[in-house]
Structure 1
Amino acid sequence: MALTSSFTVLQSSLSLRRDGLIYSSPKTFVSILLSKPKSSLVTQNCNPRSSSDEPFLTKRMLNLTLVAMSICGLPDVSSALLAEEMELERYTDSKEGFTLLKPSSWMKVDKAGATVLFQEANMGSNNIGVVVNPVRLESLEKFGSPQFVADKLVQAEKRKESTKEAEVIKFAERSGGGGLPIYEFEYIIDSTRGGMKRIFSAAFVASKKLYLLNIVHSDKPESPLDPHKRMILEQVLHSFDAATLV
């Protein structure tokens, strides 16, 4: 499972820290600011459609508007409203000390090696998992930059016999609750086991524990990840944080 392998390479790397190495400052995502749609775009259809299409279109436009307003930092949009419109619910593990949003329809399942795992109904290969284990470092930043960690993850994937291709798409650093550094990654894997998959990962270290979130979703050429589902998974990614700091 990608979640377990990702954790293994991070845990082994963090446990084998080498003193004296200094890495460059972490790179960040280039923010894409979406303009707030004009009211006419919501109420007026440019092309004739059946009345049954209108609720779907209205909800999709509302979601896009909420995401755009959230990115722009407008005060009249709360994260709770955005999560509700995207059918996300809060999951908190008080014992292990982490929290995240998850799609309300995804079911919790037991899986060896995972602290928690959620699977999409009838699509078990699409899943959201978290692994928590102790490490020696007090901060992920002391190990290296987001790019350095992303390279480690992809190198580990490329060493697998089943992997045909693995490529980093994005990496970034954000601040969680209390200023906790959290690294985020996006990469794709083409494997003989399951074909093309897109993986969103987030990691942080708190109280000498490594917390790793892996979101795995099929992204095959014949059935690519659609923009709406991508927005939902990105909200899950950005919601991952230490529970005691939220």
Structure 2
Amino acid sequence: MPLKCCFSVSQSTLFHQPCGFIYASPKTFLSILLLKPKSSSSIQNCNPRISNAEPYFSKRKLNLTVVTMLIWGILPNISNAALAEETELERYTDSKEGFTLLKPSSWTKIDKAGATVLFQEKDAGSNNIGVVVNPVRLASLEEFGTPQFVADKLIQAEKRKESTKEAEVINVAQRSGEGGLQIYEFEYTIDSTRGGMKRIFSAAFVASKKLYLLNIAHSDKPESPLDPHKRMILEQVLHSFDVATSA
């Protein structure tokens, strides 16, 4: 289905007909903080085997344990795993339209009518990352409304669709981008007859009288939920969306 980009410049109609990728999900603007790794103390508190064993370990034994781990190469393997996570993403910059973001290196770029750029996961085309850029009369997104106001408009537009069975906003946030540019971010879930349960991460900003919309869609069905590692990757993509700096 071709993308329909029907954004106008008035507050009453800006979200009346939201754009859609692949399964007709609207462009959005939402956010979540990056998943933080648990601290060592929180891990111990969550593991009864470790906490129960603490009285039996002396400082000397603990030091020997660390040395043993180093000899066996366990800690280097952990570092390599963290490095592999970082290399899953690569920078994509559109100098013509003036935006940049990270994307999974294995996701392929495809042509889609109406989309400025669209990336799909291999063998899972409904999982995608898309950007749409449209001219507007607004100088900034704040002129339209607060992040919560935008989120409310967004979810109302989703619920008006005949294919939507349920839609719920999970998170709303605002962050500063390049040069202090204000970027709205959103996360929501949608259950649709045209794609089942989906998790959507979206971001939006206005720069140079253009509206930039990022939409990340991923399957999140009860029988195969979005796993924490993939979620972390998609959140990094979300938080990387920004205006491109001129060389």
TM over 0.5: yes
1:186-197 aligned at under 5 Å gives the runs 186-197=187-198
Deviation beyond 6 Å, 4+ runs, structure 1: 28-32
| Identity across matched positions, percent | 74
Task: Give the letter aligned to residue 192 of structure 1.
Answer: T
The alignment of Structure 1 onto Structure 2 pairs a total of residues equal to 201
| Alignment match, 1:147 | 148
Separation of aligned partners in 2, 1:238 and 1:91: 14
**Distance change >3 Å, CA 134–CA 239, structure 1 → 2:** same
| Alignment match, 2:166 | 165
**Distance change >3 Å, CA 222–CA 172, structure 1 → 2:** same
Does the CA contact (< 8 Å) of 2:140 and 2:206 recur in 1? yes
TM-score by length of 2: 0.72
Cα root mean square deviation, aligned: 3.2
| Alignment match, 1:105 | 106
| Alignment match, 1:16 | 10
| Alignment match, 1:175 | 176
Give the Å deviation of 1:243.
0.2
SS of aligned partner of 2:129: strand
SS of aligned partner of 1:238: helix
Give the Å deviation of 1:60.
9.2
In the alignment, structure 1 segments of 5+ residues that lack a partner are 19-27, 48-53, 64-80
Separation of aligned partners in 2, 1:174 and 1:61: 31
Separation of aligned partners in 1, 2:91 and 2:34: 25
Give the Å deviation of 1:86.
4.8
Q: Deviations over 1:38-69 (max 9, x none)?
A: 8x99xxxx89xxxxxx99xx559954xxxxxx
| Alignment match, 1:216 | 217
| Alignment match, 2:245 | 244
| Alignment match, 1:135 | 136
Does the CA contact (< 8 Å) of 2:91 and 2:103 recur in 1? yes
SS of aligned partner of 1:111: coil
SS of aligned partner of 1:244: coil
Separation of aligned partners in 2, 1:202 and 1:109: 21
Separation of aligned partners in 1, 2:87 and 2:203: 20
In the alignment, structure 2 segments of 5+ residues that lack a partner are 13-30, 51-72
TM-score by length of 1: 0.72
**Distance change >3 Å, CA 30–CA 203, structure 1 → 2:** closer
**Distance change >3 Å, CA 60–CA 214, structure 1 → 2:** farther
| Alignment match, 1:233 | 234
**Distance change >3 Å, CA 59–CA 210, structure 1 → 2:** farther
Does the CA contact (< 8 Å) of 1:196 and 1:218 recur in 2? yes
Separation of aligned partners in 1, 2:241 and 2:140: 16
| Alignment match, 2:64 | none
Instruction: Determine which structure has more spread, i.e. the larger CA radius of gyration.
Output: 2
Q: Which has the higher contact order (CA 8 A, sep 6+)?
A: 2
Task: Give the letter aligned to residue 162 of structure 1.
Answer: S
Does the CA contact (< 8 Å) of 2:100 and 2:240 recur in 1? yes
Separation of aligned partners in 2, 1:138 and 1:196: 35
Does the CA contact (< 8 Å) of 1:4 and 1:131 recur in 2? no
Separation of aligned partners in 2, 1:187 and 1:172: 12
Does the CA contact (< 8 Å) of 1:213 and 1:240 recur in 2? yes
1:5-154 aligned at under 5 Å gives the runs 8=6, 11-12=7-8, 15-17=9-11, 34-37=37-40, 58-59=77-78, 63=82, 85-154=86-155
Separation of aligned partners in 1, 2:199 and 2:237: 14
